[in-house]
Amino acid sequence: MLKRVSRCNPKLLVLILIILFLGVLVGMGKNRKVSAVTDDVYEDLRVFTDVLNHLQKDYVEETENRNLIYGAIKGMLDTLDPHSSFMPPEVYREMQMETKGKFEGLGIVIEKRKGLLTVVSPIEDTPAFKAGVKSGDHIIKIDGHPTEDMTLHEAAMKMRGTKGTKVTITITREGLIKPKDITIVRGIIPLISVKHDVLEKGIGYVRISQFNEQTASDFGKGLEKLEDLNKAPLKGLIIDLRNNPGGLLDQAVKVADKFIRRGVIVSIEGRTKEPLKFEAHREGTVENYALIVLVNSGSASGSEILAGALQDHGRALILGTQTFGKGSVQTIFPLKDGAGLKLTTARYYTPKGRSIQAMGITPNIIVPYSRVSDDRESKEQPPHPLEKDLEHHLKRVEEEKGEKEPKEERVLDPQLERAVQIMKSWEIFQGLSLKK
C-alpha cells in the first residue's frame, strides 16, 4: 500500500496502475490486445493520478490512501449494474458467513431496482419476516438515513448488527398512502433452509426457504423422512419456493437434478464464446410421483432456476404468481488484502433458452395469494401448515384426556390448498378407466 501519493513519481504510479488494470483484464478473460488497452487507458489513468496527487497535497484535511483507493473502486463499480460491487474485508467476511447459513441481522434479501432499495424477499422465520416486511417493499430510509445513494452493501451493513439491537426501516409499498416505519429487533438468521410435512395421505410438502450449503443434502433427507412418515411411497410432492430469494447456484441445480433424468438444467451465458451448461444425471432420479411447485413474487434467482428447469422439462406444474426475475450471475473474486469483488458475469437461461432476468417464471396456473385479514396491507406472505394440522402430530395433553380444543379460526393458504386439490385430482384421474 502506498504511504503518500504526493511523494510518488506520477509516471511510476501510472505504470503501476496500468499493470494492475491489465492484470484484472487478463484474469477476467478479456481477449484484447495489450498494446491497444495500454494506449486507450494511459491518458485516463494520468487524470486519475493527478486527482490523487491534488487530494493528497491540496485537500483541506489529510486523507487516508486506502480510503481514496477503495472509494475510487466503489465509484467505478457504481457505473455498472446494481449487483456488481466492491466488498471491503469486513463486508466480504460477512458475505461468506451468509452462504454458510448463519449470521445476525434482519433476514432480508435486497437489490436495487430503478434506483430504489427493493426487498427481494424476507427469509422465513427471521425478524424481518415476523415484522411484516414483504417482497417488493422499497426501503427508503434506515434509521432515518435515506437509502437513495447507498450501495447494496452499505445498506446491508446498516441493517446487520448484534442480536437484540433494534433498527428502524422506512418502507413504501403498493397500497400504502404514506411511508411506514417498521422497527425490528435483530436476531440470528437460522441455518435450516428445508422443512417437510405430510399434508394428506400420500401428499408430501417440502418448504425451501433459501439455498445454502446444506440445502440439497437436507432436501434429500427430507424426502426419505416423508416416505417414512407416510409409511408408503409418496404419490405427489409439493415444493414450496415462495419468498425464497435464492442463494447458492449449485444447490438449486442439485435439487433439480433429483427430478430430471437427462438434459440441461440451466445454462449460463456471459462474454465467453461457449455457454456453461449444467446437465442432469440419470442416477438417483426420483420419477415415481407428481410435482407441484409453489412460487410468488418473492421467488428469485435459485428458486427461479429450479422452477424453470422443472417447468421446461414438463416435470412439474408451477402454481402461484409471477416470480421476481433475478436472472444474472454474480462471481466473487477474492482480492489480496482480504476484500472481495462481486461482479455480474453472465445471465441464466432455462433449458428452453428462456431468460429469467427481469422476466421471471410465469406459473402454469395463476393463483393469487389473498386472505381475509384485518391487515389490509397483507400481500404475498403465505402462512404454512400449523403443527396441529400435520398428520401424526403429537397431541396436546388435553386432547389425550378428551377435552375440547379452544375454537380457533384457521388461516387459509389458497395457493397451497389449490395445489393439494390438484394433486388429489391427478390421483383420481389416474385411477379412472376411460371407456369408449
Residue 335: the pLDDT is: 92
Taking the chain (436 residues) in consecutive chunks of 10 residues, what is each chunk's mean pLDDT? 42 52 46 50 81 90 89 88 86 71 81 88 88 94 93 86 94 92 91 87 92 93 90 90 92 96 95 86 89 95 96 96 91 90 92 92 92 40 41 39 45 87 81 47
Q: Which of the following is catalytic: 326, 328, 342, 413?
A: 326
Among candidate residues 327, 247, 255, the one with its CA nearest the CA of residue 291? 255
Note if 326 is an active site residue: yes
Q: Beta partners for 3? A: none
204 Cβ contact partners less than 8 Å away, ≥ 6 residues apart: 196, 197, 198, 223, 226, 227, 230, 234, 236, 237, 238
Catalytic residue check, 312: yes
CA 69, chain centre distance (Å) = 30
Q: Among the options 137, 197, 257, 312, which is catalytic? A: 312
- Closest to 270 in 3D by CA, of 29, 74, 39, 8: 29
Cβ neighbours of residue 182 closer than 8 Å, sequence gap 6 or more: 131, 132, 133, 168, 169, 170, 171
d(CA 365, CA 296): 12
Phi first, then psi: what are they for 39, rounded to 5°? -65, -40
CA-based nearest residue to 210, from 129, 290, 315: 129
pTM of the predicted protein model? 0.74
User: What's the CA gap between 116 and 189, in Å, rounded?
Assistant: 25
Q: Of the residues 85, 193, 299, 301, which is catalytic? A: 301
pLDDT of residue 101: 52
Mind listing the domains of the chain with CATH numbers?
Answer: 5-63 (no CATH), 103-189 (2.30.42.10), 194-366 (3.90.226.10)
Angle at 327 between CA 84 and CA 137, to 5 degrees: 80
Tell me whether residue 327 is exposed, middle or buried, using C-beta atoms within 10 angstroms of its C-beta: 0 to 12, 13 to 18, 19 or more. buried
Separation of alpha carbons 204 and 138, rounded Å = 35
pLDDT digits (tens, 9 = 90+) for 212-231: 889 999 999 999 999 888 88
Q: Is 301 a catalytic residue?
A: yes
